[in-house]
Amino acid sequence: MTKNNITGDRDRTNLLKNLESRLIEHLCERMPAWVKPDLLTATGLFGSLVVFFGLWFGTFAKVFLLLSIIGLAVQWFGDSLDGRLAYYRNTPRKWYGWALDINADWVSTCVIGLGFYIYLPNFKIVSFVFVVAYGGSMIVSLLRYKITDKYTIDTFFWGPTELRILIALVLFVDIFRDDTLLQFGLIGALLLIFFNLLESLKVLRLGHERDQQEKAEKGH
């Protein structure tokens, strides 16, 4: 089974793409037949709930942040394998799966963002801005897909997997050092806004180029 069989039409540029792809292929080869892609999508959503409850309970005892770290791993497992398993088994539902994945990602983002909002003792607006900025990056990806017919979820060498790992590290450090998550949220939100602006300008340029191309084609 080659790498292309499980990636669909996504163009991955993230730093861990090769390692992640090998791991996903390894897991797909060993997945029981009763495990269906939709079940994995539900597993990813469940992982988001685990992250939420870990952050909520973390307001009482920081050791519960370890639960959120486990939740991030569960969320990666479900979110990363649902579509890949369908392609591996040669049973993809491209547009259904894509629509389901986008909806599941947004619900997960909101659920985890709500957990951050509950956990942060001060400046809760940071969690709101972070969720809005992350949602903005999803919108930019969809716009790029519409214009170029190429779907990517990565920004340069940064993707959802790297973000999950970083959040897990931040949560672990926050157990021993107060305000680590707050500082990460603030810096992360600002960086997302900056990259969203850059990517939005690129998408506008691509849109302009496609407009010119289509006008030229109609002129003939």
Give mean pLDDT, residues 170-178: 94
**Predicted local distance difference test score (pLDDT) of residue 1:** 38
**Predicted local distance difference test score (pLDDT) of residue 18:** 85
Chain segment 181-219, per-residue pLDDT in tens: 999 989 988 998 999 999 999 999 999 999 998 888 887
Burial class (CB in 10 A: 0-12, 13-18, 19+), 58: buried
Domains along the chain with CATH numbers: 9-219 (1.20.120.1760)
**Predicted local distance difference test score (pLDDT) of residue 91:** 87
Give mean pLDDT, residues 34-56: 95
More confident residue, 43 or 98: 43
* Alpha helices (H) in 120-179, listed in sequence order: 125-148, 160-176
**Predicted local distance difference test score (pLDDT) of residue 6:** 55
**Predicted local distance difference test score (pLDDT) of residue 50:** 97
Q: Please list, in sequence order, all residues whose beta carbon lies within 8 angstroms of the beta carbon of residue 63, skipping any fewer than 6 positions away.
A: 175
- DSSP assignment letter at 149: S
The answer to whether residue 5 scores a pLDDT higher than 70 is: no
Can you tell me the distance from the alpha carbon of 30 to that of 117, in angstroms, rounded to the nearest whole number?
38
| Tokens 């940064």 belong to residue | 158
Q: Which amino acid is at 214?
A: E
The answer to whether residue 175 scores a pLDDT higher than 50 is: yes
- How far are the Cα atoms of 61, 146, 177, 209 from residue 161, in angstroms, in the given order? 27, 24, 24, 32
Cβ proximity of 47 and 82 under 8 Å:
no
**Predicted local distance difference test score (pLDDT) of residue 8:** 55
Give mean pLDDT, residues 44-69: 96
More confident residue, 69 or 80: 69
Q: Please list, in sequence order, all residues whose beta carbon lies within 8 angstroms of the beta carbon of residue 27, skipping any fewer than 6 positions away.
A: 77, 81
Cβ proximity of 137 and 192 under 8 Å:
yes
The answer to whether residue 220 scores a pLDDT higher than 60 is: no
Whole-prediction pTM: 0.86
* Alpha helices (H) in the chain, listed in sequence order: 4-7, 17-29, 37-58, 65-88, 94-119, 125-148, 160-176, 180-219
**Predicted local distance difference test score (pLDDT) of residue 2:** 42
**Predicted local distance difference test score (pLDDT) of residue 148:** 86
The two three-digit tokens of residue 166, written as one number: 């970083």
**Predicted local distance difference test score (pLDDT) of residue 46:** 97
Taking all residues of the chain, what is their mean pLDDT, rounded to a whole number?
A: 88
Cβ proximity of 37 and 82 under 8 Å:
yes
The answer to whether residue 62 scores a pLDDT higher than 90 is: yes
More confident residue, 5 or 26: 26
Q: What percent of the chain has pLDDT over 90?
A: 52
Which pLDDT band, with edges at 50, 70 and 90, does 95 fall under? confident
